[in-house]
Structure 1
Amino acid sequence: MKQRFLLLYLACLIGYYGTGQDVYELNSGWKCYQASELAATPEQLSQNSYAIDSWMPAVVPGTVLTTLLENKKIPDPFYGMNNNKIPDIYNVGKARYTYWFCKDFKEAIPSGDGQVWLNFRGINYSCEIYLNGKKVNKQTFKGMFLRQRYNITRLLNKSGNNRLAVIVYPPDAVGNPNGGQGGDGTIAKNVTHQYVAGWDWIQPVRDRNTGIWDKVTIEKTKAVIIVDPFVRTEVPGIRKPAGAQAPAFIHTSATLENASAATVSGILKYEINHQQVRQRVTLKPFEKKEMQLPVIEIKNPRLWWPNTYGPQNLYPAAFSFIKSNNEISDSRNVAVGIREVKNIWNNHTRSMEVRVNGQPVFIRGGNWIVSDELLRFSKERYDAEIRLHRDMGLNLIRVWGGALTERPEFYEACDRYGFLVMQDFWGSGDCNGRWMDPKKLEDQWTRRNYPDDHSLFIESAADMIRMIRNHPSLAIWCGGNEIVLAPDLFHALKDSLMPKLDGTRWFIDYSNSDSMSYNAIGNNGDGPYGIQTLPYFWNYRTWPFNSEIGSVGMGDFASLKRFIPENNLVIPSEKTGSETVNDSVWTYHKYIGYGKFIEAYGAPKNLEDFANKAQLVNYDQYRTLMEGFIGHQWDWYTGLIIWKTQNPWTALRGQMYDYYLDPNACLYGLHTANQPLHGMFSFGDSSIYIANNTWEKKDNLMLVVKAFSMEGKEHLITQVFCEAIPQNTKRILSVKAAIKAMGKNEGMFLTIQLLDMSKTIIDENTYWLPDQSGNYSGLNKMPAAPLNIQCKKAGAGKLEVQLQNPENAPLAFFNRLSVVDPKTGKRLLPSFYSDNYVTVLPGARKLIHIDYPKGPQAVAVSVAGWNVKEQLISIN
């Protein structure tokens, strides 16, 4: 067994590619054709003399469906029920989605010891590759999560005109999309993502994402290339973001590969912070050699910290191999975030605790699927989505196991915005046999050993570890979603690959494992996943490190109109205990119900009114969910991960923003709850708490608690100096009596403010509380608020909006700001708001900063609230 695994591991060492000294993408000019309709041989069609002008333009990186969509051969699967109009691969056969992809490019045969490499960062699922009439891969390549690197120097045409041809085959088992989680489960027989056969939040992807789905690059080096560079940072002791720092240490290694038939001598060099280390080496013809470099000490380092705790400092750094004639053979740039992540068992909570640079971090996370179910990834979209997560005040993103290993561009964005990442490997209890399931084709014993090719899984896992291990954001590895992988796969990961290839991060056997979180009081598992009463989040004790907990999350009317046909823009009529509603489109897009929570605001007049009231529920649900966990941090909990914060298509559940990157009120409920210093109201015991989500004690804070009537009449409940304990929550006083006295007839507003010694408000949190019957009857009687709005440009793509409410006015309640095109009235997306769904107290003002994308010369800002008529302010 040991010998067998050693052979597998050696196979895993095949090829890493990264950013070399001379690299470019083959990302345009591709053509494609359905393979079953071609009579030419691969050798023929991969030569320039074979005409492909009549072939269909192809999207690469992309999938067959993205190409068909781009060429208007299929309808938009995200709109209405169009996805049902696209033939499913299970019904029409794999040949329907098996295509040839061709690309003509110019690259001359290099002189001297120059080498040219062809790199694929992801093909789903198997392929044959030809270049200029010659086959490139000796054996059929297979595996969605395994990169490929080929030396094509000797295959290039003397003319410099080359043709690359790739035939891509769908997964071996495409699975029956029968409505189960992962359909009939057989999609998991492949080393691929499982959600493509359908889940309870997504419909099946008809081609199962067959295609050249990630980047294709041409890379030019000299004889020796740098493979698998690895940077490990060591930060001893307990640190804080501010002040002078004790030294940190950089450990580096890389594999060198000599691609030539001659012996090559030179120096492997690593540079960071104006310091460098060197190692002399001689490589025999075609030899590979792993090199360890001397440790570098960084004095007074600028450390990398998670979001809300400190800055995300990144050092530019580079590996290079310099031949004995002083010519650079290859170089690799690796941005370095100096930090150290550890985990310790918290005996009080009975769960794992994450520490960064020695400091405890209360995990406030979100579950992530993929950016786009059709794998249309871009650096810009990744940046926008991670920025929206930053605006939520979260500090961790978990990449769910039924999806994929996220791309380096995702990790680069997480590095910039300060996110710890928990990366699952590719398995889920639904497909991999944890539970009995009548929708699954095979029994649990069989499914327990998915995928069919364990060697391919291990090889792919090793390659993915190498691809992302240098990112400071990567903090936790997870074996799979809600199940331990098959024993040999689990032990290969835990006992062999992790120690050898990384060894710096916490490895969890599965996402809700007892090794992560053990609840001795009987509330087992993760969740809940649906809407809850607000006291629930304070009173009910879930798992102490809850990997999945969530609620509702539909967007507003503007969001719904983007993907729901006009005839289906109706109020969903829910059936108790069922996720089926009276409209097929709502059901198809996986609507999860709000129950009677919206009716507490009054029966909705139409869908727009329904969607606006849903935002009130959204805000309250996620603000209270987060505050309930923060209120019990280090006592009941060490962390939580929301299920889920985004959707890869136009779903109607579990999202803080829609597929089009338009935020809803869930996002800003979290934004409010996650402030570094925060005053909050417990719906559990009607008390006021102060949360300090920093590592510094805060003295001389003025806590102000006020009540407001629907007309805006203010009543001061308390004003008291207090202190905030680092990384903890402190109960201050009960306001139960005041609420009972003031709010029984119409409800009331409760505002909590924290002020510093200069009387500056550093946190403000306004709650709307129901009357004694549980309804928000007073909200429907509120007078209009005469909100004054002033807007001005604050730079390219930047606006400042000031909202001012006069003295003696009612509260200007729950105002949504949107940047729009004044000609069309449509929102400009993605736009980023320093706050939104804001309430302005009588006599107060709020300043909102907005970043918006390039678009028309003139823009406008729309502001509309519960008792504020929409205003549209044009800005030239």
Structure 2
Amino acid sequence: MLRPTPLTEGWTLRHPDGAGGALPAGVPGCVHTDLLAAGLIPDPFLGRNEAEVEWVGRREWTYERDLPAATGQAAPAGPAERTDLVFDGLDTVAEVLLDGRVLGRVRNMHRSHRFDVTGLSGRLAVRFASAYTEAEAVRETLGERPGAYPEPYQYIRKMACSFGWDWGPTLVTAGIWRPVRLEHWSTARIARVRPLVTVEGRTGLVELSVDVERTRVEAPPADGVPPADGVPLTDEARLTVEARVGGVTARAEVDGTRGTVRLRVPDVELWWPRGYGGQPLYDVELTLLRGTAGLDGWRRRIGFRTVALDTSADARGTGFTLVVNGERLFARGVNWIPDDVFPSRMTPGRYRRRLGQAADAGVDLVRVWGGGIYESEDFYDACDALGLLVWQDFPFACAAYPEEQPLRGEVAAEARENVVRLMPHPSLVLWNGNNENLWGFRDWDWERPLAGESWGEGYYLGLLPRVVAETDPTRPYTAGSPWSGSWLHHPNDPAHGTHHSWEVWNRADYAEYRADVPRFVAEFGWQAPPAHATLRRALPGEELAPDSPGMLHHQKAEDGNGKLARGLERHFPSPGGDFDRWHYLTQLNQARAVAAGIEHWRSHWPVCAGTVVWQLNDCWPVTSWSAIDGDGREKPLYHELRRLYADRLLTVQERDGRLVVAAVNQAAGEWTGTLTLRRMSVEGAVLGRAEVPLSAGRRSVALIGVPAELAPAGPKEFLVADAGVRAGADPGASADAGASDLGPGPRALRFTAPDRDIPYVTPEFDVALAPGGVGVGVTVTARTLVRDLLLQADRLDPAARADRGLVTLLPGERVTIGVRGWETPDAHAARRALYCVEPR
């Protein structure tokens, strides 16, 4: 069998001029992490250190180690005819040398590379050029192409956001970023397996197309006389492939270098996205055989399911609805960026934690954004297990990309390799050609400066769909996001296909989300700073202010602070110079903004078939659109997503000038019960009340009219809609009547004016501590209306986490917030960490 020898130890890193000598190098890793480990650069995530390490990305660097003598005939566990040196990922432009002899040259971070080193040993070196040098040389050859940012990321096949983004630092990496090993083999090895997995009724169909690489060896001639020219004969040994899935075994012969084995697996259990069913996975074992001897093996886990994308036209435009196992879905999504600007630091545990946070928030779709990478197997394995659908962008984002060589060949090779690599994963349901480039060509003044030069259209509408159709016909492909389906419509037309809603954040109030009903909202979002403890760690010693030097450095968006300020002014009295108040209000405003969009769009299912929030995560500590900050702490938006993406959601909306309660039921069963409506004053008085029947079918939305007499009349009044209020609880009762726990069912609130115009009473509440099952319970009992109460647990202890975010309490209601990681519980400290909306 093929035998691997990992090459993770013994590497050194040096600059070619020899200055500073050789440093220990981590593999997988990158130059920045090695320099950090050696104490030679400051942490670029802290303060304004990013600028102090800019030089690293503009240097050449060399990794070296001895190649073991155990190659060829001296391979471990017996002789081997062939030894390959295999790199799973080199970032990005490099020469691979052995004792000064060039084995090969590479220029693509997104590909693996293999070199024949049979019988060789000596000093192995990987000499990295600066990514800037390569990109600028390609730009000089092919000419300028427009982009959203000045850095030359579109001229090199590298993670684009290494060059900085409006949420990320400019840290241009180099290094052996994925594993490297020697592979020893004889006769033949499995070069590629392309698994096509489908379902026919209850029968799972698996087709494994196998590509085989053979060695060339001395084969004894039939007449015993060696050939006159001494050329070795090719060993055309008879090979077979054998596969096992779900107790079914099948075998097929290899015809030269290819073989196809097909299996029919009866009575399979379907793989479903979370919330729709289970996620059963089946082991696939494939063995390459010569006679009865195993030469190589391939093992993966698959899931049986069908996936389709319904883009049919209707009276409202062109749809964009994912259909899994015949079930039409409203996608509850988030956009994923690389979770670390140094992706070699990502571990299986970290992927599982971050994606677990997404699943716990009700997310069922994760879009891997096109300015990053094709993620590691650990990412997709976690999504398979958690039931998270994956929308995978090809790595093109926010720029015109040249289509000439040397880029075109690299794009074709990387696409074919990664499509095949990711095909086993049932979570992967959609291939997408690019992020915003079709839109950019139309709206960002690209066409005139391009003057007919290539810009990527040939990739998105030609090369990539051909690769997907030929390689992975089991999954749909879409040319871009946003994309209306053809040039007959504007690429970002909300009535057709996918839509990115950025006018609201950039120029308008978030109430404008309600102005239209896109068919699928693939990007929208609102900024907020990270958690307080994250800021304290990232900006040590700084007196925090919205415009303090470190805060401005960790705000990468164009006019980001201006947009935050204008967003606050529309809703809240100015926090003045109170940073803590500003911090709370901007985080609250982020949650309010995203809620305005999701509630509106979910209430219009099935016309709107999905929302994908920008963004789930961060790659460093920064003010951004994320729900989870760069230190992994959850913002209030994260907890709000748990409400917004729950199977059952109540929201008060307008239809034809009248208020309705939309009961959004994405659960498998019917939602029936009683809807309790209350018209209340901000002083806590119940001004009107009604109970109406609630009935919403499975996977549907029911609209329930609000009686005219219960509609709030002016800024002093608001509407409360409750489903499933605990028996006997009266959210409108006064505090003196005895406190009641906040009802367990969904609730919707409707205020008719911005907070700055609402005459709130001064909030009054009591705080008590109680031991919980895990951690401490902070119980808050409201004596007045307490709007958007938030416990900032990280102010109690940097390690502390709260189990819920924003909550509005009516007079007489109480809520218990669970806190983990708080070693010294104290009721006074808890009160100081509680924030809520206050009167102007």
Give the structure-1-normalised TM-score: 0.78
User: How many percent identity over aligned positions?
Assistant: 20
Equivalences for residues 167-206 of structure 1 within 5 A: 167-171=127-131, 172-174=133-135, 183-184=149-150, 186-205=152-171
Q: Classify 1:560/1:224 alpha carbon distance in 2 versus 1 (closer, same or farther; 3 Å).
A: same
Answering whether residue 747 of structure 2 is matched by residue 775 of structure 1, we say no
Structure 2 counterpart SS, 1:785: strand
Is residue 2:86 matched to residue 1:119? yes
Q: Mapping of 1:140-155 within 5 angstroms?
A: 140-155=105-120
2:240·2:254 contact (CA, 8 Å) conserved in 1?
Answer: yes
For 2:61, the equivalent position in structure 1 comes to 98
Distance (whole Å) between structure 1 residues aligned to residue 786 and residue 572 of structure 2: 17
List runs of 5+ in structure 1 lacking aligned partners: 1-19, 39-51, 157-161, 238-245, 284-288, 433-446, 574-580, 794-798, 853-857, 872-876
State the one-letter code of the partner of 1:142: R
Q: In 2, Cα distance between the equivalents of 1:315 and 1:26? A: 31
Distance 1:736 1:210, change over 3 A: farther
Distance 2:528 2:110 in 1: 31
Q: CA deviation at 1:407?
A: 2.1
Equivalent in the alignment of 2:511: 535
Whole-Å separation in 2 of the counterparts to 1:275 and 1:234: 16
SS at match of 2:533: helix
Aligned to 2:666: 693
Once residues 153 and 757 of structure 1 are traced to their aligned partners in structure 2, the CA distance between those partners, rounded to angstroms, is 77
Decide which of 205, 213, 226 is 2:177's aligned counterpart: 213
Cα distance in 2 between the residues matched to 1:776 and 1:322: 76
Deviation at 1:660, TM superposition (A): 0.8
Read off the aligned partner of 1:80 and give its amino acid letter.
G
Contact 2:415 2:464 in 1 (8 A): no
Higher alpha-carbon deviation: 518-527 or 342-351 = 518-527
Counterpart of 2:244 in structure 1 is 271
**Residue 235 of structure 1 corresponds to which residue in structure 2?**
199
1:151-208 Cα shifts (integer Å, max 9, x gaps): 444225xxxxx75432222234345999x95643533122223233333333322xx2
Partner of 1:48 in structure 2?
A: none
Tell me if the contact between 2:678 and 2:710 (Cα under 8 Å) persists in the aligned partners. no
1:79 to 46, 53, 75: 46
Give the direction of change, closer, same or farther, for the CA distance of 1:707–1:726 in structure 2 (3 Å limit): same
Q: Which residue of 2 aligns with 1:254?
A: 210
- Partner residue of 2:27? 60
CA drift at 1:352: 2.0
Cα pair 1:122 1:213 within 8 Å, conserved: yes
Q: 2:746: which partner in 1?
A: 764
> Are residue 358 (structure 1) and residue 326 (structure 2) matched?
yes
Alignment of 1:718-797 (within 5 A): 718-734=690-706, 737-738=709-710, 740-741=712-713, 744-745=715-716, 750=720, 752-754=722-724, 763-765=745-747, 767=749, 769=751, 774-778=756-760, 781-793=762-774
Tell me: CA distance 1:249–1:101, structure 2 relative to 1, closer, same or farther (3 Å).
Answer: same
1:515 aligns with 2:515: no
Aligned to 2:391: 422
| Per-residue Cα deviation, 1:790-848 (whole angstroms, up to 9, x for no partner) | 3233xxxxx5x55555697765952436479x9xx3226xx6x6543345666667677
- Answering whether residue 265 of structure 2 is matched by residue 305 of structure 1, we say no
Equivalent pair of 2:310/2:320 in contact (CA under 8 Å) = yes
Distance 1:530 1:564, change over 3 A: farther
Match for 1:361: what amino acid?
L
Partner of 1:505: 475
Structure 1 Cα separation of the partners of residues 148 and 86 of structure 2: 30
- Tell me the amino acid that sits aligned with residue 311 of structure 1: G
Deviation at 1:219? Answer: 3.9
Tell me what 1:441 maps to. none
Q: 1:114 to 1:643 in 2, by over 3 A?
A: same
Q: Is 1:611 the counterpart of 2:577 in the alignment? A: no
Report the residue type matching 1:643 in the other structure.
Answer: W
Distance in 2 separating the partners of 1:136 and 1:526? 49
Equivalent of residue 619 in structure 2, options 648, 661, 670: 648
Letter in 2 for 1:270: A
Which secondary structure does the structure 1 equivalent of 2:212 belong to? strand
- Measured after TM superposition, the shift of residue 784 of structure 1 is 1.9
Q: TM-score, normalised by structure 2?
A: 0.81
Match of 1:431 in 2: 399
Give SS of 1:701's match.
strand
Alignment of 1:219-618 (within 5 A): 219-236=183-200, 246-259=202-215, 261=217, 262-281=235-254, 289-299=257-267, 301-324=268-291, 326-346=292-312, 347-349=314-316, 350-375=318-343, 376-428=345-397, 430-432=398-400, 448-449=402-403, 452-483=406-437, 486=456, 488-490=458-460, 493-494=463-464, 496-515=466-485, 519=493, 526-528=501-503, 530=505, 533-537=509-513, 539-541=514-516, 543-572=518-547, 584-585=552-553, 587=555, 591-592=560-561, 593-598=563-568, 600-604=571-575, 606-618=578-590
Structure 1 contact 144–192 (Cα < 8 Å) conserved: yes
Q: Distance in 2 between matches of 1:465 and 1:175?
A: 29
For residue 475 of structure 1, what is the amino acid of its counterpart?
V
Secondary structure at 1:497's aligned position in 2? helix
CA–CA separation in structure 2 for the residues paired with 1:334 and 1:589: 41
Secondary structure at 1:188's aligned position in 2? helix
Give the Cα–Cα distance (whole angstroms) in 1 for the partners of residues 184 and 680 of structure 2. Answer: 68
Residues 834/606 of structure 1: CA separation in 2 closer, same or farther (3 Å cut): closer
What letter matches 1:169 in structure 2?
A: A
Contact 1:183/1:199, CA 8 A, preserved across alignment: yes
Distance 2:287 2:782 in 1: 66
Distance verdict in 2 for CA 1:230–1:766, change over 3 Å: same
Name the residue aligned to 1:660.
631
| Matching residue's letter, 2:8 | N
Q: Which amino acid aligns with 1:167?
A: R
Residue identity matched to 2:266: I
User: Cα gap change, 1:124/1:559 in structure 2, threshold over 3 Å: closer, same or farther?
Assistant: same
The one-letter code sitting in structure 1 at the alignment partner of 2:535 is: L
The Cα shift of 1:541 comes to: 0.9
Query: What are the Cα deviations for residues 617-671 of structure 1, in whole angstroms up to 9, with x where unaligned?
Result: 2221222221111011223x22232222222222212101111111101111111
Give the deviation of 1:524 after TM superposition. 7.8
Letter paired with 2:546: I
* 1: CA distance, partners of 2:528 / 2:503: 14
583, 593, 597: which one aligns with 1:621: 593
**Does structure 2 retain, via aligned residues, the 8 Å contact 1:802–1:846?**
no
Aligned partners of 1:702 and 1:719 also within 8 Å: yes
Superposition CA RMSD, Å: 3.9
The change in CA–CA distance for 1:553 and 1:259 in structure 2 (over 3 A counts) is: farther
Alpha carbons of structure 1 residues 749 and 383: separation in structure 2 relative to 1, 3 Å? farther
